[in-house]
Structure 1
Amino acid sequence: MRIEVDVEACVSGGQCVLAAPEVFDQREEDGVVVVLDATPPDGLAEAVREAAVRCPARAIRVRP
């Protein structure tokens, strides 16, 4: 799995961090998403997919 994020589309909602804090964080200055691990282990796949679904801006894409 590979994660792609459109930081321009991010609205700093923080839902990704709530769903998968091991994979996502937010910048201090503006809350925009930061990907901590663009290729997370399979054990986090469900949480990463949940983060993508929760994203209000649909800024997160999960690729195989």
Structure 2
Amino acid sequence: PPTDLGFSFDANKQQRQLIAELENKNREILQEIQRLRLEHEQASQPTPEKAQQNPTLLAELRLLR
């Protein structure tokens, strides 16, 4: 029946929208991971001044290891 076709079309459309949203979210998460890795690399070679300026960041990074 035509109503079944309409329903499956809507379901497919919703699935495609959901997939697109998840792919976008995944991309954002991957970018955030990349950003944090760079931040971590920079903070992993701290000068004594930097360590004194931001002890909280260094403590957080140690927890992440």
TM-score (norm 2): 0.30
Higher strand share: 1
Higher RCO, Cα 8 Å, sep 6+: 1
Higher helix share: 2
TM-score (norm 1): 0.30
Higher gyration radius (CA)? 2
